[in-house]
Amino acid sequence: MTVQPHPAAAPRSRPDVTPFFHRATHTWSYLVVDPSTSHCAIVDPVMDFDQASGNTGFAAADVIIAEVRSRQLTLDWILETHVHADHLSAAPYLQQALGGRIGIGAGITVVQHTFG
Amino acid sequence: MFNEGTEFQRDGSQFDRLFEDGDAFQLGELLVQAWHTPGHTPACMSFVVGDAVFVGDTLFMPDSGTARVDFPGGDARTLYQSIQRILSLPGDTRLYLCHDYGGEGCREVQCMTTVAEERRANVHVRDGIELPEFVALREARDRSLAMPQLILPSLQVNMRAGRLPPADQDGRVFLKLPVNGL
Extents of the domains making up chain B: 24-145, 149-182
Average pLDDT over residues A12-24: 97
The residue among B49, B83, B50 whose CA lies nearest residue A12 is B50
Judged against a pLDDT cut of 70, whether residue A2 lies above it is answered with no
Beta-strand ranges (E) seen in chain A are 16-22, 27-33, 39-43, 46-50, 55-57, 74-79, 88-89, 101-105
Q: Using the beta-carbon criterion (under 8 Å), do A84 and B158 form an inter-chain contact?
A: yes
Strands B17-19 and A101-105: parallel
Alpha-carbon gap, residue A68 to B53, rounded angstroms: 21
Alpha carbon of A109: minimum distance to chain B alpha carbons (Å): 5
Long-range contacts of B131-138, Cβ-Cβ distance < 8 Å, separation of 24 or more: B131/B77, B131/B80, B134/B66, B134/B76, B134/B80, B135/B76, B135/B77, B135/B80, B137/B65, B138/B66, B138/B68, B138/B69, B138/B76, B138/B79
Q: Model confidence at A71, in pLDDT bands (50, 70, 90)?
A: very high
Which of 73-112 (A) contact B at CB < 8 A? 76-77, 79-93, 101-112
Alpha carbon of B59: minimum distance to chain A alpha carbons (Å): 13
Average pLDDT, chain A: 94
Q: In percent, how much of chain A has pLDDT > 70?
A: 91
Which of 19-38 (A) contact B at CB < 8 A? 19, 21, 25-28, 30, 32, 34, 36-38
Residue B104 is predicted with a pLDDT of: 81
Helix H or strand E encompassing B95? strand B94-97
Angle at CA of residue B143, ends A27 and B134, nearest 5°:
80
Local structure of B97: helix, strand or coil: strand
Q: Using the beta-carbon criterion (under 8 Å), do A101 and B43 form an inter-chain contact?
A: no
Q: Model confidence at A11, in pLDDT bands (50, 70, 90)?
A: confident
How many C-beta atoms lie closer than 10 Å to residue B1's C-beta? 14
Residue of A19, A25, A36 with shortest CB distance to B150: A25
Judged against a pLDDT cut of 80, whether residue A7 lies above it is answered with no
Alpha-carbon gap, residue B182 to B179, rounded angstroms: 8
pTM: 0.95
Q: Does domain B24-145 have CATH number 3.40.470.10?
A: no
Cα B151 to chain centroid distance, Å, stands at: 13
Contact residues on chain B for A114, CB-CB shorter than 8 A: 1, 72-73
Q: In percent, how much of chain B has pLDDT > 90?
A: 96
**pLDDT tens digits, one per residue of B51-103:** 999 999 999 999 999 999 999 999 999 999 999 999 999 999 999 999 999 98
Q: Which residues of chain B have pLDDT under 50?
A: none
Q: Using the beta-carbon criterion (under 8 Å), do A91 and B99 form an inter-chain contact?
A: no
Q: What DSSP string describes B150-169?
A: THHHHHHHHTTTTPPPPP-T
A contact test, residue of B4, B7, B13, B15 with most A CBs within 10 A: B15
